[in-house]
A and B are shown apart, each in its own frame.
Chain A
Amino acid sequence: MAELAYRDALKEALDEEMGRDPRVFLMGEEVARYNGAYKVSQGLLDKYGSARVVDAPISELGFAGLGVGAAMVGLRPVIEMMTWNFAILAMDQIVNSAAKLRHMSGGQLRCPIVFRGPGGAGGRLSSQHSQALEANYAHFPGLKVIAPGTAADAKGLLKSAIRDDNPVIFIEGELLYGQRSEVPAGEYVIPIGKADIKRPGSDVTVITWSRMLTACVLPAAEQLAAKGIKVEVLDLRTIKPFDQEAVAASVRKTNRVVIVEEGWPFASVGSELSDFIQRECFDDLDAPVRRVTGLEVNMAYAANLERAIQPSQERIIEAVNAVLYR
């Protein structure tokens, strides 16, 4: 196994899938000659040519819809959004076209398309560039939503997303691109909808995904371990459909749950998980589910405010202590 940066793991996935399937093409802003705003597509233009790695104008709605149309007639587009904040402009085509085509056509059409790009806080970028939007997309029937937190998961899940026959929302961690970790070489595919225990434990389950995993959940678990508290870290990886069995199994084991997410608390992925857990695991719970989320405010620029708005190790430790009644 080689250590790869998250961005290079994504590039490997793109490269391998484009190599095995001529129907796959990449379109987005700065993906070709600039080699990607975050260098995820480095070198792909030279390898695959200008029809398969396409520099789009700044027209998110337009090229998102173009991708959906191409997917309707047998291609497998990967549409890169420079960030998910800009994809809000493309929401109509993602939600009203991609997510509904199979349904509205009574099963005549399919829409195998991946919309991918960075989400979450970018680091001192203020409100319009620092949003964790996975809950928005997870709300709509017809969309799958993936948010990997490690390089290996990024690779294995992007390959699955490209091979899937449905529209997939693939949200990368903007602050994860440079993060290195071990990635299996060659064909490595992770099924959509499977969570992963990133750290086994028996006292409390912390459920998370994307950047929060390495940014604060695993470090908090380490700190708690020093105090004798065994935290099980469950990385959801796929937001929709989420791995109900893995969640229930972990809750049955630890009887206590904390959910950590970067996004806002209202109508969030965490609130959906809480509902599932209280409904399906009521008798297994020894404490109410606690959530640690981004604060219900827009992101600030100032360094101290930005830190305060996001989940932190301290807030996670506090929540873990609360569900342990310590």
Chain B
Amino acid sequence: MHSPELLLTMYRKMVLARRFEEKAGQAYGQKKIQGFCHLYIGQEAVVVGINEAIRPDDMVMTGYRDHVHPLVRGSDAGMLMAELFGKDTGYSKGKGGSMHFFDIEHHFYGGYGIVGGQIPLAAGLAFASKYRNEDRITVCSFGDAASNQGAMHETFNMASKWKLPVLYVVENNKYGMGTDIARVSAEPDIHQRAVAWNMRGVSVDGMDVLKVHDTVKELAAYIRAGNGPVLLEAYTYRFRGHSMSDAATYRTKEEVEQERLRDPIVKLRELLLKNRSATEPQLDAIDEEVKKIVDDAISFADQSPEPPLEDVWTHGFVEEGEPDEKPRARVRGATDVKWPSYPTDFKVTWDLEPRDPPAATPIKKGAA
């Protein structure tokens, strides 16, 4: 059973994600955001379902469709929008932009612009957790098309062999840019490939936030218990093109309309009303509250200054004694920023590859 609080939180976060992306799309049309801009509209159930099923100190990373992953973790919407606007008040002071969001305070370790590039990195985060004997897990999302990168094969082999605590989530929205994943994949059911690395492969309806949540809840516990990585394939759909410059003519109107009937936000709203977890006015109030957050984010981004020109030269090499930037403290003057810190003195107890007594090689029948 899901508590009304959980359902309302998920509703609120999905609406926040949707409105944020709609406004980002509008700002792109006004040329306030430029470059590549990949919207998450339609896929919200995946990221929200995951987030409510893991711990706040679990680590998350994804590809370049990355606006919403930090947003639902609790990042400051105004500072995320400011990053899209290329402003000094953005999380990366305007150096990263749409494809490279980072919010370390909320354990969001980045948006990566090279397809599949985050897959090995996530294994590294998980390796560090296991190395220090922490019980945190890492959740790494990537798109369906990234599953054809060699990086995935190389990483899954290591992650599974070393039982690294990482959940890999394929956000399968059916298309790698304009190419139907089935056109270029010998096995388009991506989670089925997990068997090749001797790891669990699971699929879930990624348009149903409750199913995503419940599945990830179980998988997170499984991974946290030391059972190794899991590949979860969430079948989802983006309602917009690959990026803002994509008219998405490779899909039929009918297909998109059909998929829009599965809109995860509409579905959850209906459920909330049906099981009387919320009333219409309550949900409308959430919609209003979210609208204001996003409107404020836009005006904050709009009114923020561009980064100073001397910032061209900052954040190249870390100089000795140079601290890390804590964005919310820098921009908002926040004093409650909990920055991750790691021990420098500890004992490594993990025996990654125990030395078993050498097994006798069985002689095959008929061998010479």
* Chain A interface residues (CB < 8 Å from chain B): 21-23, 25, 32, 48-52, 54-57, 59, 61-75, 77, 92-93, 96-97, 101-110, 141-142, 144, 165-166
The size of the chain B interface, using a CB distance under 8 A, is 65
- CA distance in complex: A70, B326 (Å): 20
Is A105's CB under 8 angstroms from B127's CB?
no
Binds A, one of B14-22, B46-54, B200-208, B313-321: B313-321
- CA distance in complex: A67, B121 (Å): 7
Is B151's CB under 8 angstroms from A61's CB?
yes
CB distance from B105 to the nearest CB of A (A): 8
Is B324's CB under 8 angstroms from A108's CB?
yes
- CA distance in complex: A25, B13 (Å): 40
B315 is contacted by which of A25, A72, A107 (Cβ under 8 Å)? A107
**Is B360 close to A, CB under 8 A?**
no
Report chain A residues within 8 Å CB of B132.
74
Is A66's CB under 8 angstroms from B123's CB?
yes
- CA distance in complex: A318, B124 (Å): 50
Is A97's CB under 8 angstroms from B316's CB?
no
A73 is contacted by which of B114, B316, B342, B354 (Cβ under 8 Å)? B342
Question: With contacts A49-B352, A50-B355 known, what are 14 further pairs, Cβ within 8 A?
Answer: A22-B346, A62-B155, A65-B124, A68-B124, A74-B132, A75-B131, A77-B124, A93-B120, A96-B117, A105-B100, A105-B325, A108-B324, A109-B324, A144-B317
Report chain A residues within 8 Å CB of B161.
57
Binds A, one of B26-34, B88-96, B247-255: B88-96
CB distance from A243 to the nearest CB of B (A): 16
B residues 148-168 touching A (CB-CB < 8 Å)? 150-151, 154-155, 157-158, 161
Is B104's CB under 8 angstroms from A109's CB?
yes
Please judge, given known A-B contacts A62-B158, A97-B112, whether A54 and B352 are in contact too, CB under 8 Å.
yes
Is A25's CB under 8 angstroms from B131's CB?
yes
Report chain B residues within 8 Å CB of A61.
120, 150-151, 154
- CA distance in complex: A57, B345 (Å): 29
- CA distance in complex: A41, B209 (Å): 49
**Is B351 close to A, CB under 8 A?**
yes
A106 is contacted by which of B102, B113, B126, B344 (Cβ under 8 Å)? B102
Q: Can you name 21 A-B residue pairings with CB atoms under 8 Å?
A: A22-B346, A22-B347, A22-B348, A25-B348, A56-B158, A63-B120, A65-B119, A65-B124, A66-B124, A73-B340, A74-B128, A96-B114, A101-B110, A105-B96, A106-B93, A107-B315, A108-B92, A108-B102, A109-B104, A109-B324, A166-B318
- CA distance in complex: A57, B156 (Å): 11
B residues 297-322 touching A (CB-CB < 8 Å)? 314-318, 320, 322
- CA distance in complex: A142, B155 (Å): 25
What is the interface of chain B mostly: helix, strand, loop, or mixed?
loop
Is B114's CB under 8 angstroms from A22's CB?
no
- CA distance in complex: A252, B128 (Å): 49
Interface centre among A51, A54, A63, A101 (most CB of B within 10 A): A51
B120 is contacted by which of A48, A69, A77 (Cβ under 8 Å)? A69
- CA distance in complex: A49, B353 (Å): 9
Is B345's CB under 8 angstroms from A22's CB?
yes
Report chain B residues within 8 Å CB of A93.
117, 120-121
Is A105's CB under 8 angstroms from B92's CB?
yes
CB distance from B129 to the nearest CB of A (A): 8
Closest to B341 in A: A74
Is A59's CB under 8 angstroms from B324's CB?
no
Report chain A residues within 8 Å CB of B342.
23, 73-75
- CA distance in complex: A75, B132 (Å): 9
Is A72's CB under 8 angstroms from B109's CB?
yes
B317 is contacted by which of A23, A67, A102 (Cβ under 8 Å)? A102
Is B100's CB under 8 angstroms from A104's CB?
yes
A92 is contacted by which of B90, B117, B131, B317 (Cβ under 8 Å)? B117
Is B351's CB under 8 angstroms from A108's CB?
no
Is B348's CB under 8 angstroms from A51's CB?
yes
**Is B81 close to A, CB under 8 A?**
no
Closest to A55 in B: B353
- CA distance in complex: A73, B96 (Å): 19
CB distance from B255 to the nearest CB of A (A): 33
Is B348's CB under 8 angstroms from A109's CB?
no
Closest to B164 in A: A66
Is B151's CB under 8 angstroms from A108's CB?
no
Report chain A residues within 8 Å CB of B348.
22, 25, 48-49, 51-52
